[in-house]
Chain A
Amino acid sequence: MTDLATLVRDRRILICTGSGGVGKTTVAAVLAMRGAAAGRKAVVVTIDPAKRLADALGLEGLQNSPSRIDGEWPGELWAMMLDTKSTFDSLVAKYAGTPEQAARIVDNPFYRNISGALSGTQEYMAMEKLYELYEETDFDLIVVDTPPTRNALDFLDAPQRLTNFLDHRLYRILMAPTRGMMKAVNVATQAFLRTVSKVVGGDVIDDAIAFFTAFEGMEEGFQRRAKRVAELLTADETGFVLVASPRRDTVHEADFFARKLREGGLDVEALVVNRMHPKWGDELAEATRARADAFEGTDLGGLYANLADFQLTASREEAHLDGLTESTGDADVIRVPMLESDVHDLEGLGRLGDLMMGA
């Protein structure tokens, strides 16, 4: 078992995963901040931070490259917000044979839709950005937040999914008319394209064909890149931090997630359970509830009822976690108490860090 503080000191890459609304971005920011506190040059890549947290991290609008945050730490803390489109644009520029080819792709209406409409693109670009930072910069800790996908694992197979898309067999169908393939294929293809055009209109198909034509020859570069990104995710210097909240539904999702990661040969090294209700006393909620009922209608009855409420919630939350800690194996489990207010500044992040990893 590796504790969270060790991960922050030793790993080169930490990936925060979990379902939406559990505080992944906040946890990612805390990890990077603690990395800086441990003397490292750390960067956090956020996907869609809440406005006040973005402000606290100095993220005004999309920049797509890290900017430095000043603070009292021996190392350096940098932050950036992922811009899916411009990450994709630079990837295209990198693999295009000529600047003209890159321009033809980037100007294509079909391409412009890819970043917004194709599922998995955002996930892929998050991983692509991670790879770029890993290869081309001297950050020694890169913490990545992942998009709040329903399937939560999308980012793992996103690179493969996008390359499959680019190398889709329909691509060949679309390309057939321009390549003069066998006549038999052509007839079927034309019928198919006519049908699709009937439903969505002809320009759309023309754009798609133009896109795939422009993309020709680049698939291989994309494939190779996707493979290297996948290798990086499974490397020893990469660690996964699973973030969950103690509610039954998010615990279920986290559980599903942990199993999937393991199936993919990746271990969850730390489980951060955010916003746990506080627990007071060792009494069973039922016993406290009985006292509340005995004094019902009095101030004392109210005080007992309130204590019973929290004891019940705390025990339910612990019960939910029991199942999850089984599926995360020997991952370090960090329980973060619900604070009296939301965290949205550096001071709050610092306090959260103390709660997660000790002062």
Chain B
Amino acid sequence: MQPEQFFASSRVVIVAGKGGVGKTVVAATMARAAAMSGLSALIVEVEGKSGLSAMFGQADLGYHESRLSAGGGVDGAADIWARTLTPDDALLEYLSDHGLNRVSKRLVGSGALDIVATAVPGIKDILILGKIKQLERDGVADLIVLDAPAAGHAITFLRAARSLLDTVRVGPIQTQARDVLDLLTDHARCQVMLVTLPEETPVNELVETAYSLEDEVGIGLAPVVVNGVYPDIAGLDVDPGSAATAVGAALRGGEGGELSAAATFRRERTALQREQIARLADELPLPQIKLPFLFDAEIGPDQVDALARALLGEVESIVPLPAAGSAVP
């Protein structure tokens, strides 16, 4: 699949996964890969404190858009923007857009949003998703990447529109919920990209989440991202002594043992990772995008670039599914 075709699948991509799988890194990588393909991208954060800005070597984000990476450089890449969305800010904006400016400050300032949010569960989620819908409609960027709350909360978050329709039967919130549901269920406008590590528990949770999202929300699923895959290295099954002899080198004292222990560890972890990747493929018929584990453990602009190039490479090897629409049969 060509990158242009991949990024044209839907303007909104919601990146979701359990805590610790690297959701934010994947959101940053998607934006960078889109920018490298000449498409502008906006990353939307909902929880704050994610370290996203540090990945682009920038200061913290605010409610208004800030540019993380300017386009038009030597590589011809497009702009990457980011912003944080909070339910309180989105509510203020929503109320003033609906001519309710006078009460809006009071509703938020008095903490009354908590009461309303308790009375109408999902209202906060709808406010966030409603804002995303507005950004999508305004065409603020070629690609809008939403770094979703950690799963299982992700399912509740995405299910909010449907459950709200059951509770609130009239009024502007009902309209809002309907519009959000239209966005979520239109696979040409919005898809969810699930992220996992190649380990047993995260894979199980991803599979469960994938089926719930399709069955309960009717949401479209983008290829899944398997993050933190050990890259292949040659020679790991060769005895260090013989490997040295083969090139006429001599090992230093103790070095043979270290090389061999490290090689065994990597072989075993790699075998486990492959097993989980294969199991994921068995249980969930979606294309996979594998991103390498970065041993330098610091995600900065260079690492995001490397991951974005890896992602583009993986995208090219994706064979588009014959039938558009439901990926999970």
Contact = CB atoms under 8 A, between A and B. Distances in A.
Interface of A: 19-22, 48, 50-52, 110, 113-114, 116-119, 148, 150, 165, 168-170, 174, 192, 195-196, 198-201, 204-205, 207-208, 245-250, 252-253, 278, 280-281, 295, 298-307, 309-310, 312-313, 316-317, 320, 338, 340-342, 344
A281 B200 CA distance: 30
- The interface centre, meaning the residue of A113, A169, A250 with most chain B CB atoms within 10 A of its CB, is A113
Contacts of B120: 113, 200, 204
A45 B304 CA distance: 39
Nearest to B297: A316
Given A113-B118, A249-B50, A341-B200, 6 more contacts: A148-B150, A205-B119, A248-B51, A295-B247, A300-B244, A309-B266
A310 B295 contact: yes
Contacts of B254: 281
B172 A199 contact: yes
A331 B259 CA distance: 34
B221 interface: no
B60 to A, nearest CB: 13
A148 B19 contact: yes
Contacts, number: 198
Interface in B43-86: 47-51
Contacts of A117: 117-118, 121-122
B243 A299 contact: yes
Contacts of A320: 297
B272 A340 contact: yes
A298 B247 contact: yes
Given A150-B49, A204-B120, A303-B259, A317 B297 contact: yes
Interface stretch (B1-9, B129-137, B210-218, B233-241): B233-241
Interface string B131-149: 0000000000000000000
A310 B168 contact: no
A280 B19 contact: no
Nearest to A248: B298
Nearest to B201: A50
A298 B243 contact: yes
A208 B238 contact: no
Nearest to A23: B20
Interface stretch (B102-110, B279-287, B306-314, B321-329): B102-110
Interface string B294-305: 011111000000
Contact of A170 (B111, B258, B259): B111
Nearest to A341: B272
